[in-house]
Amino acid sequence: MSASGIRPGPRGRAVVTGLGVIAPTGIGAARHWESVLAGKSGLGRITRFDPTRYPARIAGEVPGFRAAEQIPGRLIPQTDRFTHFALAAAEAALADATADPARLPEYEMAVVTASSSGGTEFGQHEMENLYQQGSSWVGAYQSIAWFYAATTGQVSIRHGMRGPCGVIACEQAGGLDALGQSRRLLDTGSRLVLSGGTDASLCPYGLVAQLSSGQLSTEDDPARAYLPFDAAASGFVPGEGGAMLVVESAASARDRGVRPYGELLGYAAGFDPATGPRPDGTRHAVLASVIRRALADASLAPGDVDVVFADAAGVPAEDLAEARAITEVFGPGGVPVTAPKTLTGRMYAGGAALDVATALLALTAGVVPHTAGLARPADGCAIDLVLHHPRRTGPRTALVLARGHGGFTSALLVGAGDRRDPEK
């Protein structure tokens, strides 16, 4: 055994047996999937505060989320909305997997979440207390609600998971990195990992901080605000929510008699240290290399991949780089590419985790969902974008891509399982 617990021999199989979704497209995996197939957008004018004074006013908010109906009442004032989402999604994922943590070995279960900006709204409230009223007005829960580890800690406590829990913050790429980490844990003695990510930074300070990235769309029409790979792309729309997944060793799932949605086949992460466009036009090179490494990790060839769920930045230069990377690996138009996240906006720590859930639902249903709302692909994007309506092509393998602010670049391959009944 190695220092980090890697055993000799091949890596064990990692399967996904449960999905918990809280998204602008709906609460629950089934409702989310219906919205995806119908191309029903969750984007709209921000309602959580009055956005009139800000240049970006459109977002993907989770409709009708009432924490009191989803999580224990005592936890509501102790935690931020991003943790509310994760507690609810974790509960749903465990139920979907018919997993009862009380009946599984405590040290062989873990929680690994992605966090992008922590308890943003909670933190703004407490800073307001501090600056308006003084240090003694800062509440006792600030110390456990604001920090990036709040969600993992609370989910671990709630379900008695005492294994090697973790928190990974790689901005929008974090969801894939958390799932990649869950696979490592299965390789080092864990049997079940609750993994994924959620985000809820739609408070004034959160939005204003996002504005400074210069990448938010200032378009006021929700149908025009987030159009990745489109000639009219003008930035992206932020979203809230995310997904938690039950990732389990194939042996554990079999022991429990649970049919998986699918399998985590391969994963790779890399980094692009360049800021802005590269003069030599190689902006796509790191992403292409990460895709190749993920394929190698899965022992798959490009021709084995049936659909790519794109990162879909919505920023023209970034879209072009992604299209080039996909084209370089798969050939021009060599693989269907889709971005159902046009319905939710980019959800930071929650985005990539939701994309993986969507990909697994697509494999389960045998359908490639379309990218709703796009009209005219941008020049130079030589990819086979799935537009207008879903394709019933029976995909078996999906590649999910994610890039995070600053250069994070990750890729995850998922394969179809034998489950046919997406519930919840």
Partner 1 sequence: MTRPQRRAVITGVGAVAPGGHGREAYWDLLTAGRTATRRISLFDATGFRSQVAAECDFDPLAAGLTPQEVRRMDRAGQFAVVAAREAVEDSGIDLPAADPARVGVSIGSAVGCTMGLEEEYAVLSDGGRTWLVDHSYGVPHLYGYMVPSTLAVEVARLAGAQGPVALISTGCTSGLDAIGHGVQLIEEGSADVVLAGATDAPLSPITSACFDAIKATTPNNDDPRHASRPFDGRRDGFVLGEGSAVMVIEEAESARRRGATVYAEILGFAGRSNAFHMTGLKPDGREMAEAIRVALDRAALDPGDIDYINAHGSGTKQNDRHETAAFKRSLGPRAHEVPVSSIKSMIGHSLGAIGSLEIAACALALRHQVVPPTANLAVPDPECDLDYVPVTAREHRMERVLSVGSGFGGFQTAMVLGRPADVRPKPRPARRAARRPARKEAA
State how far the alpha carbon of 418 is from the alpha carbons of 289, 403, 415, 422, in Å.
31, 30, 10, 11
Pairwise CA distance, residues 352 & 346, whole Å: 9
278 binds partner 1 (CB under 8 A): no
29 binds partner 1 (CB under 8 A): no
Closest by Cα among 113, 102, 100, 180 to 149: 113
Q: Which of 47, 98, 213, 218 binds partner 1 (CB under 8 A)?
A: 213
CA atoms in the 13 A half-sphere facing the CB of 154: 30
359 binds partner 1 (CB under 8 A): no
Locate the DSSP E strands across 153-285: 166-168, 192-199, 241-249, 262-271
- Compare residues 70 and 78 and give the one whose CB is closer to partner 1: 78
What is the closest distance, in whole angstroms, from the C-beta atom of residue 27 to partner 1 in the complex? 26
Q: Point out which span in 12-20, 29-37, 166-174, 391-399 binds partner 1 (CB under 8 A).
A: 166-174
175 binds partner 1 (CB under 8 A): no
Query: Which residues, at least 6 apart from 119, have a Cβ–Cβ distance to it below 8 Å?
Result: 79, 80, 81, 82, 83, 145, 146, 147, 150
162 binds partner 1 (CB under 8 A): yes
What is the closest distance, in whole angstroms, from the C-beta atom of residue 8 to partner 1 in the complex? 4
- Residues 51-80 within binding reach of partner 1 (CB under 8 A): 53-55, 78
Q: Which of 111, 298, 312, 313 binds partner 1 (CB under 8 A)?
A: 111
25 binds partner 1 (CB under 8 A): no
1 binds partner 1 (CB under 8 A): yes
3-state secondary structure of 339: coil
170 binds partner 1 (CB under 8 A): yes
Pairwise CA distance, residues 148 & 163, whole Å: 19
Q: 415 phi and psi, to 5 degrees?
A: -115, 155
- Compare residues 403 and 419 and give the one whose CB is closer to partner 1: 403
Instruction: Compute and round to an integer the Cα radius of gyration of the chain.
Output: 20
Closest by Cα among 356, 388, 391 to 21: 356
Q: Point out which span in 5-13, 225-233, 242-250, 386-394 binds partner 1 (CB under 8 A).
A: 5-13
Q: Point out which span in 37-45, 186-194, 229-237, 414-422 binds partner 1 (CB under 8 A).
A: 186-194
Q: Which two tokens stand for residue 423?
A: 């519930």
Locate the DSSP E strands across 7-124: 14-23, 26-27, 43-45, 58-60, 109-114
- Compare residues 7 and 376 and give the one whose CB is closer to partner 1: 7
3 binds partner 1 (CB under 8 A): yes
157 binds partner 1 (CB under 8 A): yes
In three state form, how does the secondary structure of 360-394 look? HHHHHHCCECCECCCCCECCCCCCEECECCCECCC
Q: Point out which span in 19-27, 249-257, 267-275, 306-314 binds partner 1 (CB under 8 A).
A: 267-275
- Residues 123-152 within binding reach of partner 1 (CB under 8 A): 123-124, 126-132, 134-136, 138-140, 142-144, 146-150, 152
> Other CB atoms closer than 10 Å to residue 334's CB: what's the count?
18
Q: Point out which span in 40-48, 248-256, 373-381, 401-409 binds partner 1 (CB under 8 A).
A: 401-409
What is the closest distance, in whole angstroms, from the C-beta atom of residue 54 to partner 1 in the complex? 6
- Compare residues 131 and 423 and give the one whose CB is closer to partner 1: 131
- Compare residues 54 and 387 and give the one whose CB is closer to partner 1: 54
